[in-house]
């Protein structure tokens, strides 16, 4: 009703209220809500022109959102958000995965914009954080700080925490202050105010480097911040400290007052973002990741879109060696960039057409051979070539670089930029397997012999073959290899011949049906693998973990 009346008005609660999920509220700029002796719970979307339109006690929870109008954008921007799954990607200035209770108080009259009809558009606010962890978002404005508006006050009460998250920054502007009665955290740093209350300046975590704010205690002067109770070294307010683990900084005082060292809010300028952080996007056959390789600014959010080509599907998306989930639109957002990143997608090929239409070119492969279907799959999928135009050589041993090249082709033949990854001293730069080996080393699929060599031209043993495919499954395909940890291989008489660190790969391979023993009682871990055996292992692995091989007969 207040929205509809000329000149707006004030809505004064006569009971506790809840704005449920579909009870969205948009207040005209001449309307505000007073909770008085009651409180309001926000589980819906509430849109305001100024936080001065909410006066009293409010709790944001269970997906509740408070938006404030941004005149520069001519649209509402998310100011506060609470949801169990909330993270920096929500683009809210404050967010939490628990309920947030705050008290919003009136700002002094000189900050009101008064005409014959009172309106509320001033960005200033008097916000008391009552309960919950209020996390300052690191992802906004490409790393530029969230400035607490001039004339504003944030009061952190005893049960509340103001958490300036990793890579986030806020600062006071125009005389704004933070009054701390609770907990203030900046990245890994927890600030023990030691009876100090008023805080001003920059509160920032820059990739683990924390800027310490200025703090005041009546009748005292700040000597500096100590780490814990160790006062042998003090850090001046405004200085930066590398904080790589959870650390408590304690304000240390001396009796009496002296000249204020704070240089003033105007001494800080919001720098324009500098795009100098490399984000490497490794492309591979079967699809595209966009955008491609680029330079990012600190704090920038980057959304990657993964698109599979026809006859391919997306198997995994990997960021810095870790598997991440794509959303329903096959997007992934890298939030608040602060360091270099490497991303890559694994696309799996649908081989039905090439498999069913395969015309055997190899004179040494017969449909009666036990490995025929395996060779057929691997050749049709482009994983194996023949040793010559018409020979496959199924009984020849396969070398380590040949096996790595097979997996590299399965991964879409990604080419690793020269400035990342490592090389082995015995791998020629002009080798056909050079790119494959660098790729495998980057994703820890191969580790070499420990002396800087790869073992180039060495025939691969059965335990090496199993271990390399195990690592590919774990590090590149996203297979849960632990599900076969209970596989019993003790019954094999030569199980103790398995090299250190290769027992789990054998358990996984035997349990998953990827390999069988050479007999009912032997695994022959040191035995050399043949090309026919390697093709069979790959056929079984792909059938179970990569794509379903069509059962179409001959």
Radius of gyration for the alpha carbons in the chain, expressed in angstroms and rounded: 31
List, for residues 11-66, the tens digit of each pLDDT value.
999 999 999 988 999 999 889 999 999 999 999 999 999 999 999 999 999 999 99
Q: Are 33 and 9 in contact (CB under 8 A)?
A: no
pLDDT score for 7: 54
pLDDT score for 317: 95
Sequence-ordered list of residues with C-beta below 8 angstroms from that of 105, at least 6 positions apart, any chain: 55, 126, 127, 128
Higher-confidence position of 234 and 269: 234
Q: Copy the structure tokens of residue 255.
A: 């009796």
Instruction: Report the b/e string of 393-405 with b at 16+ CB within 10 A.
Output: bbeebbbbbbbbb
List, for residues 37-51, the tens digit of each pLDDT value.
999 999 999 999 999
- pTM reported for the whole predicted model: 0.67
Q: Copy the structure tokens of residue 330.
A: 């096959």
Is residue 271 reached through a cis peptide bond, with omega within 30 degrees of 0 on the bond before it?
Answer: no
Q: Are 60 and 79 in contact (CB under 8 A)?
A: no
CA angle 366, 367, 371 (to 5 degrees): 85
Confidence bin at 166 (pLDDT 50/70/90): confident
d(CA 54, CA 46): 10
pLDDT score for 419: 78
- Which of 71-80, 244-253, 277-286 has the least mean pLDDT? 71-80
SS3 of 313-369: the string is: EEEEEEECCEECCCCCCCEEEECCCCCCEEEEEEEEECCHHHHHCCCCCCCCCCCCC
SS3 of 147-207: the string is: EECCCCEEEEEEEEEEEECCCCEEEECCCCEEEECCEEEECCEEEECCCCCEEECEEEEEC
Which of 366, 336, 409 is CA-nearest to residue 164?
Answer: 336
Q: CA neighbours within 13 Å on the CB side: how many for 188?
A: 12
Q: Are 188 and 207 in contact (CB under 8 A)?
A: no
Q: Are 27 and 3 in contact (CB under 8 A)?
A: yes
Q: Which helix (H) or strand (E) holds 402?
A: helix 400-410
Cα end-to-end distance, the chain, whole Å: 77
d(CA 136, CA 121): 23
Which of 147, 108, 104 is CA-nearest to residue 128?
Answer: 104
Instruction: Give 261's DSSP letter.
Output: -
pLDDT score for 99: 95
pLDDT score for 116: 54
Q: Is the pLDDT of residue 89 over 90?
A: no
Q: Is the pLDDT of residue 114 over 70?
A: no
d(CA 472, CA 440): 8
Q: Which helix (H) or strand (E) holds 304?
A: strand 302-308
- Which of 76-90, 313-327, 342-356 has the least mean pLDDT? 342-356
Identify the bridge partners of residue 32 per DSSP, sorted by sequence position: 10
Q: Are 294 and 358 in contact (CB under 8 A)?
A: no
Q: Are 336 and 168 in contact (CB under 8 A)?
A: yes
Please give the average per-residue pLDDT across 355-380, as a whole number: 91
Q: Is the pLDDT of residue 112 over 60?
A: no
In a 10 Å sphere around its CB, with 0-12 CB exposed, 13-18 middle and 19+ buried, how is residue 212 labelled?
buried
pLDDT score for 522: 94
d(CA 401, CA 22): 60
Q: Is the pLDDT of residue 117 over 70?
A: no
Instruction: Give 461's DSSP letter.
Output: B
d(CA 33, CA 53): 6
d(CA 10, CA 33): 6
Q: CA neighbours within 13 Å on the CB side: how many for 416?
A: 20
Using a pLDDT cut of 70, give the percent of the chain over it.
Answer: 93
Higher-confidence position of 122 and 25: 25
List, for residues 418-463, the tens digit of each pLDDT value.
877 777 999 999 999 999 999 999 999 999 998 999 999 999 999 9
Which of 460, 468, 536 is CA-nearest to residue 502?
Answer: 468
pLDDT score for 149: 87
**Alpha carbon separation from 40 to 13, 33, 121, 230, 366 (Å, rounded):** 9, 10, 22, 45, 78
Q: Is 39 helix (H, G, I), strand (E, B) or coil?
A: strand
Question: Taking all residues of the chain, what is their mean pLDDT, rounded to a whole number?
Answer: 89
Q: Is the pLDDT of residue 478 over 60?
A: yes
Please state the separation of Cα 219 from the chain's center in Å. Answer: 45
List, for residues 320-341, the tens digit of each pLDDT value.
999 999 998 999 988 778 789 9
């Amino acid at each position: 009703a207040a929205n509809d009346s000329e000149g707006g008005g004030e809505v004064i609660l006569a009971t506790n209220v809840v704005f449920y999920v579909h009870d969205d509220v948009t207040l005209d700029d001449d309307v505000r809500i007073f909770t008085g002796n009651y409180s309001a719970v926000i589980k819906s979307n509430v849109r305001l022109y100024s936080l001065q339109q909410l006066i009293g006690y409010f709790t944001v929870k269970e997906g509740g959102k408070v938006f404030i109008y941004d005149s520069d954008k001519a649209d509402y921007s998310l100011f506060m958000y609470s949801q169990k799954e909330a993270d920096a990607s929500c683009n809210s200035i404050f967010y939490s995965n628990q309920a947030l209770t705050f008290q919003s108080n009136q700002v002094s009259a000189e900050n009101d914009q008064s005409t014959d009809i009172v309106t509320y558009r001033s960005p200033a606010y008097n916000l008391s954080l009552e309960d919950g962890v209020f996390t300052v978002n690191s992802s906004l404005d490409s790393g530029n700080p969230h400035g607490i508006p001039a004339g504003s006050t944030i009061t952190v009460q005893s049960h509340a925490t103001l958490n300036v998250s990793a890579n986030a920054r806020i600062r006071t502007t125009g005389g704004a202050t933070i009054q701390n009665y609770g907990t203030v955290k900046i990245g890994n740093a927890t600030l023990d105010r030691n009876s100090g209350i008023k805080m001003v300046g920059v509160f920032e975590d820059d990739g683990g480097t924390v800027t310490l704010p200025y703090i005041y205690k009546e009748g005292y002067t700040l000597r500096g911040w100590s780490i814990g109770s160790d006062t042998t070294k003090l850090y001046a307010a405004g200085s930066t400290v590398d904080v790589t683990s959870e650390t408590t900084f304690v304000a240390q005082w001396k009796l009496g007052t002296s000249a204020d060292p704070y240089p003033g809010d105007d001494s800080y300028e919001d720098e324009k973002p500098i795009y100098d952080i490399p984000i490497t996007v490794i492309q591979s056959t079967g699809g595209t990741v966009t955008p491609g390789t680029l330079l990012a600014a600190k704090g920038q959010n980057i959304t990657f879109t993964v698109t599979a080509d026809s006859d391919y599907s997306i198997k995994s998306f990997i960021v810095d060696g870790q598997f991440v989930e794509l959303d329903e639109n096959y997007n992934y957002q890298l939030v608040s960039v602060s360091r270099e990143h490497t991303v890559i997608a694994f696309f799996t090929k649908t081989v039905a057409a090439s498999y069913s239409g395969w015309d055997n070119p190899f004179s040494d492969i017969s449909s009666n051979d036990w490995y025929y279907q395996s060779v057929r799959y691997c050749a049709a999928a482009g994983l194996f070539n023949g040793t010559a135009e018409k020979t496959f050589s199924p009984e020849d041993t396969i070398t380590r670089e040949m096996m790595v090249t097979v997996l590299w082709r399965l991964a879409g033949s990604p080419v690793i930029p020269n400035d990342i990854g490592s090389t082995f001293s015995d791998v020629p730069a002009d080798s056909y397997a050079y790119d494959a080996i660098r790729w495998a080393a980057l994703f820890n699929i191969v580790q070499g012999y420990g002396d800087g060599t790869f073992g180039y031209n060495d025939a691969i043993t059965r335990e090496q073959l199993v271990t390399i495919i195990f690592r590919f499954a774990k590090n590149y395909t996203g297979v849960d290899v632990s599900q076969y940890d209970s596989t019993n291989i003790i019954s094999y008489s030569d199980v103790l011949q398995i090299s250190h660190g290769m027992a789990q790969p054998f358990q996984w391979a035997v349990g998953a049906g990827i390999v069988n023993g050479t007999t009912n009682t032997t695994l022959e871990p040191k035995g050399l693998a043949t090309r026919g055996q390697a093709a069979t292992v790959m056929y079984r692995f792909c059938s179970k973990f990569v794509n379903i091989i069509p059962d179409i007969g001959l």
